[in-house]
Amino acid sequence: MAVSSPTRSIRIGSRKSQLALVQTYWVQKELQRHHPQHQFDVETMSTQGDKILDVALAKIGDKGLFTKELEVAMEQNQVDLAVHSLKDLPTNLPTGLILGCVTERVDPADALVVNKKHLDKQLDTLPEGAVIGTSSLRRLAQLRHHFPHLTFKDVRGNVNTRLKKLDEGEYDAIILAVAGLQRLDMSDRIHQVIPSEISLHAVGQGALGIECREGDEEVLALLKVLEHEPTRDRCYAERAFLRELEGGCQVPIGVNTEIEGDTLTLTGMVASLDGQTLLKDTISGPRESAEQLGRDLANRLREAGAGEVLAAIFAQIERG
């Protein structure tokens, strides 16, 4: 009997939420399709972020809320790679782990989802005092800046839980990523795609980031088929911007990026929680210097006062 050479089975780690699973199964299917000689298995686990649902996001220590358990599993060789929404992946990874690949981004915009009594409204026509559900300081600050007549309330839980609370009337509207709704096949709930002039998206929004062990050349080579270079360059610029401002994922920092030919354009914004201060600037330069552009823009905003704005927010979160 012929003995085939043993191929390593590759274990993919994922959170258990419906969105995480949709994303992970997509990655598994794509890897399997491109690499029929290998076997790809999925292992699921809960993360801190999935367990702590009753505390405002900003108050739970920030770094790695949705990634820590998966990273430990990689370090202990229980899984070989982990699929994340890139925006949930901290900009500084634990020693020994790297961002192995960035997949093609879908629409990174935010979406307004309304209770049915407001189907005839848009953000700018919602009534005075309408309650908007979001736990994102970034969305909160930008929407307050543009629509001071709205009120904001925390909303946690997975997308289905949030939609249920909205439909039951706890909120007049909620804000969710277009990307998440699309992947969950719930695009019909997108009532308004919020223009980037009003809400700059989160760093990495709409892309998946695949994390793996540094030096695991086999896995890194397998992941190459999923890498989307324009998305990678854009997200590297965005992540360098966030890293330079030392913002975790729970800060009012937003971005927008574009690539035209060899030129990358990055817009970044830092806002105060009351929405009164909103610092925004744009930088353009060669795509190959993506990370440098991110750092340069961060330093420009810092010169304009971003450091003080962020320090005040960190103090406010500390106080609870």
The residues carrying an active-site annotation are: 88
State the minimum distance, in angstroms, from the CB of residue 129 to ligand DPM: 20
- 306-319 helix and 290-303 helix, angle to the nearest 10 degrees: 80
> Distance between CA atoms of 185 and 207, rounded to whole angstroms?
17
Q: Using CB under 6 A as the criterion, which residues of the chain lie in contact with ligand DPM when the complex forms?
A: 85, 87-88, 134-136, 138-139, 176-177, 179-180, 202, 205-206, 249
> Distance between CA atoms of 314 and 312, rounded to whole angstroms?
6
Residue closer to ligand DPM by CB (options 101, 249) is: 249
203 backbone φψ class: left, alpha, beta (φ>0; ψ -120 to 50): beta
Residue closer to ligand DPM by CB (options 88, 216) is: 88
Residue with tokens 């992540």: 239
Residue nearest ligand DPM, Cβ-based = 135
State the minimum distance, in angstroms, from the CB of residue 49 to ligand DPM: 8
Residue closer to ligand DPM by CB (options 38, 243) is: 243
State the minimum distance, in angstroms, from the CB of residue 189 to ligand DPM: 11
**Alpha-carbon torsion 64, 293, 177, 251, what sign?**
positive
State the minimum distance, in angstroms, from the CB of residue 97 to ligand DPM: 18
Residue closer to ligand DPM by CB (options 100, 108) is: 108
